[in-house]
Structure 1
Amino acid sequence: MAKITGLGGVFYKVKDTAATKAWYAEKLGIGGEWGTMFRLSDGGAEGYSLLSPFKAETDYFAPSILPFMINLRVDDLDAFLIELKGKGVEAIGTQNEDYGKFAWIVDPDGVKIELWEQIGPAPV
């Protein structure tokens, strides 16, 4: 039987695609003509992506008023946050959990971006 194997992408509308692509390239070091392609590989650790619905009343995406958030995997969150700060991008929060370390930033279009460093194996 055929099955879904992972998250294929996040697609969203912006006012100025060239400016948004430039911000992602300059600040986060990702991007291309069509966006960014990720291959799940964490140096031997099992990687995973989530497609996760939230209640309409959630404030988890705040301060963004948009009805979605992007989660980007990073290999070294602490080092990445130092690089971002040097580029003028401040984290609006951080958190450590058993399954990973998290930080949040907001892009120039108001999209909240969750940065995630996976710790340990994928949950069962």
Structure 2
Amino acid sequence: MRVLTLALLLALGPQARAAEDFSHYWNGVWNAEGTLFSVEVTVTDGRVELRQLESLGFQWSSSAGRVAGSIIEFEVDYAGVSGVIRARLEDASTAIVFARTCMPDFMVVCVLARDRQARFRKVSD
């Protein structure tokens, strides 16, 4: 009986976690580890809004994104480049962020972002 219960928990565990609502974890100020770069994230009804707090002089814009479990995605435009940024929660105060798409891919920004990720830490709610 214990083996069957354990097998069911293991089989259902990922689905249960996927259905969990992580929206409230995203709300707050997030800082790119090792930099001054920071943004404020607000999630309302599954819609993600970003506000630049410290962009290190970079002028970028983002569209409203969406939440899917522990992942948020949003579009960003910067210096003639457009891309989709994906952030995944590691825990309630840490997220891994990377460019899921970046176009045109020959632009220096896209080349530098390829296969790179940044760790963001939540610094306040």
User: Shorter-normalised TM-score: what interval?
Assistant: under 0.3
Higher helix proportion: 2
Higher strand proportion: 2
How high is the TM-score relative to the length of structure 2? Answer: 0.27
Whichever of the two has the greater Rg, that structure is 2
The structure, 1 or 2, with the larger RCO (C-alpha pairs under 8 Å, 6+ apart) is 1
